[in-house]
Amino acid sequence: MYEVTYSERVIEALMDMIRGNPKHANAIRTAFREINRRLRIYPQFGQPLRDLVVEPAQLWVAVFTPLVVNYVLDEGDGDKRGRQVMVVRPFVPLPGLGIV
Amino acid sequence: MPTGFWELFVQRVTTNPHRHISDDLNRLGGEIAVLLASHDTRTAAEALSALSERIAQRYDEIRRAAQEPTKQTRGEDTSTNNSPETPRCEDSSIVSEFPDIFRPIPVPPEVLDEANRTFNEEEIAEAIREIRRSGGLKFEDVIHKLDALPSEPHEA
């Protein structure tokens, strides 16, 4: 299993998205739950975007309708550093669904 | 998709060549491609994703049904089975527990383009530093706050 963490900015932006789109609130929450579940178990469900320079880790992007998630995947070093997923950029809605 | 691929696929699954099945699969693949091509890329990607999910779901149902009698009659724990069709994972019991998860979900090209276009290493580095400093927020820390936010019925 991977440890999944979110930055405060990511969660604040997600709350703003739910507040601003009450008709899509349930879909957004459901997607968040499912994304978190997948990130915990198998974060490779997305697509690698690029290697980071600042960390020995990769930035990935994944979609679970209606959300797009950008996250850093750190496979750890098998010793001190465990396997980690960090959601570092705010979720964005898939275009064309009417979510702002 | 070349017919040769399907011939190999069908032969591997059935151990016998079944030309008509590979022809059917090839024709079906072509028809699906034509249908997808009639939509915009986002819709096509979503439809392809939904189709893959549906096939995977049905595959899991069939596989579970096929494995159940074997488990009972042999008394084996198939959760550690790492057959060729099972995705590789360090903990194969997890694969059995969450069979729906181990399939990539296609990312639409425009989403990838946007992620690349807006990529900012310094922004990411700062977020990583913040998470390392504070420990970050966990799902359990925030889900009750999200659930408390109001929602309205969705208009179809």
Residues with Cβ within 8 Å of B124's Cβ and at least 6 positions away in sequence, in order, are A52, A54, A59, A72, A88, A89
CB A76 within 8 A of CB A83: yes
Distance from CA of B77 to the nearest CA of A (A): 21
Q: Of A11, A25, A68, which is closest to B137 when you measure between CB atoms?
A: A11
> Does the pLDDT value for residue A31 go beyond 50?
yes
φ, ψ (nearest 5 deg) of residue A41:
-100, -45
Cα distances from B96 to residues A22, B90, B91, in angstroms, run 36, 12, 10
| Amino acid, single-letter form, for residue A28 | I
Substitution target in B95, B107, B134 with the highest count of A β-carbons within 10 Å is: B107
- Which residues have CB under 8 Å from A98's CB, separation 6+? A21, A24
pLDDT recorded at residue B19: 59
Cα–Cα distance for residue pair B88/A42, rounded to 1 Å: 11
Give the mutation candidate from B46, B93, B128, B155 for the A interface (greatest A CB count, under 10 A).
Answer: B128
> What's the half-sphere exposure (Cβ side, CA atoms, 13 Å) at B60?
16
% of chain A with per-residue pLDDT over 70:
100
Least confident of A28-32, A72-76, B43-47, B144-148: B43-47
Nearest to B107 among A5, A44, A63 (CB): A63
Mean pLDDT of A32-57: 92
ipTM: 0.91
What is the residue-level pLDDT of chain B in tens, covering all 156 positions?
Answer: 555 666 666 655 555 555 566 667 777 787 788 778 877 777 777 788 778 777 777 666 666 665 654 444 444 433 333 333 334 444 556 566 666 667 778 899 999 999 999 999 999 999 999 999 999 999 999 999 999 998 887 654
The SS3 of residue B98 is coil
pLDDT, greater one: A55 or B144:
B144
Residue A81, pLDDT > 80, answer no
Q: How confident is the model at residue A97 (pLDDT cuts 50, 70, 90)?
A: confident
Chain A residue nearest residue B108, CA to CA: A63
Nearest CA distance, A9 vs chain B (angstrom): 8
Q: Quote the pTM value.
A: 0.62
pLDDT recorded at residue B29: 80
3-class secondary structure for chain A? CCEEEECHHHHHHHHHHHHHCHHHHHHHHHHHHHHHHHHHHCHHHCEEEEECCCCCCEEEEEEECCEEEEEEEECCCCCCCCCEEEECCCCEECCCCCCC
Over 50: is that where the pLDDT of A53 sits?
A: yes
CA A5 to chain B, closest CA, distance in angstroms equals 5
